[in-house]
C-alpha cells in the first residue's frame, strides 16, 4: 500500500506552465517587495530553461539593512502561509540574498550586484510574468496596519 499523496494531481491548476498556487505566491512576494520599497521587481518564468524551479523573483534593495529587513519579512510571511524555505544564501552580507522555496526563488540584490550579475540578461529569453505594483498606501491605511 502506498502512502497517501499530499495533493490530488487531477486538481492541480496551471496557467502558462506554472502552478496557479506558485503564481499567487510570487505575486504576493512582489507585492510585499513593492510595499517595502524594493525597486525594479521582475518575475521571470524560468522553469522550461532550468527544470529545477519555475519562477525567479528579482528585486533591488536600497541598502544592506533594507535588504535584510525585506528578506526577514518575506521569510516570516511565507512561513505563516505554510511555505517551507529550502535554502538561503547571502543574508549576512546582504549584497545578493537568495531565498529558495523550490518552485520559486527570490533574489534581492544591492544595486551594484544587480548590475554586475545581470540575471535578467542571463535569462533574457524567459517570459515575464505579468504583475502590477499595488497602489501606495494612504496615511490612514499605514496607521491601521
Q: What pLDDT digit, counting tens, does each position of 49-85 carry?
A: 877 888 999 999 999 999 999 999 999 999 999 998 9
Per-residue pLDDT for 86 more than 90?
A: yes
Strands 18-19 and 39-45 turn out to be unpaired
User: Residue 6 gets which letter from DSSP?
Assistant: S
pLDDT given at position 71: 98
CA atoms within 13 A on the CB side of 61: 24
| CATH code for the domain of 18 | 3.30.460.10
Per-residue pLDDT for 142 more than 80?
A: no
Q: Which domain holds residue 96?
A: 13-128
Where is pLDDT greater, at 19 or 143?
Answer: 19
Is 1 among the domain residues? no
Is 117 among the domain residues? yes
Is 86 among the domain residues? yes
- Number of domains forming the structure of the chain: 1
Is 116 among the domain residues? yes
The string of DSSP letters for 10-22 reads GG--EETTEEHHH
Is 144 among the domain residues? no
Per-residue pLDDT for 11 more than 50?
A: no
pLDDT given at position 137: 63
H-type helices in 11-133, by residue range? 20-35, 47-50, 64-80, 111-117, 119-122
Question: What share of the chain in percent tops pLDDT 90?
Answer: 57
- Are 32 and 73 contacting, i.e. CB atoms less than 8 angstroms apart? yes
Is 27 among the domain residues? yes
Report, as an integer, the average pLDDT of 108-131: 91
Is 137 among the domain residues? no
Is 3 among the domain residues? no
pLDDT given at position 141: 55
Where is pLDDT greater, at 127 or 71?
Answer: 71
Amino acid at each position: 500500500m502506498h502512502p497517501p499523496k499530499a495533493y490530488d494531481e487531477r486538481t492541480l491548476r496551471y496557467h502558462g506552465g506554472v502552478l496557479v498556487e506558485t503564481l499567487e505566491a510570487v505575486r504576493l512576494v512582489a507585492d510585499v517587495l513593492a510595499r517595502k520599497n524594493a525597486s525594479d521587481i521582475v518575475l521571470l518564468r524560468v522553469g522550461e530553461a532550468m527544470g529545477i524551479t519555475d519562477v525567479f523573483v528579482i528585486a533591488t534593495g536600497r541598502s544592506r539593512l533594507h535588504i535584510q529587513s525585506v528578506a526577514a519579512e518575506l521569510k516570516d510571511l511565507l512561513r505563516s502561509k505554510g511555505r517551507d524555505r529550502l535554502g538561503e544564501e547571502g543574508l549576512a552580507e546582504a549584497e545578493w540574498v537568495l531565498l529558495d522555496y523550490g518552485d520559486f526563488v527570490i533574489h534581492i540584490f544591492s544595486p551594484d550586484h544587480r548590475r554586475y550579475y545581470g540575471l535578467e540578461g542571463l535569462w533574457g529569453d524567459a517570459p515575464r510574468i505579468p504583475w502590477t505594483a499595488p497602489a501606495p498606501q494612504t496615511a490612514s491605511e499605514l496607521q491601521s496596519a
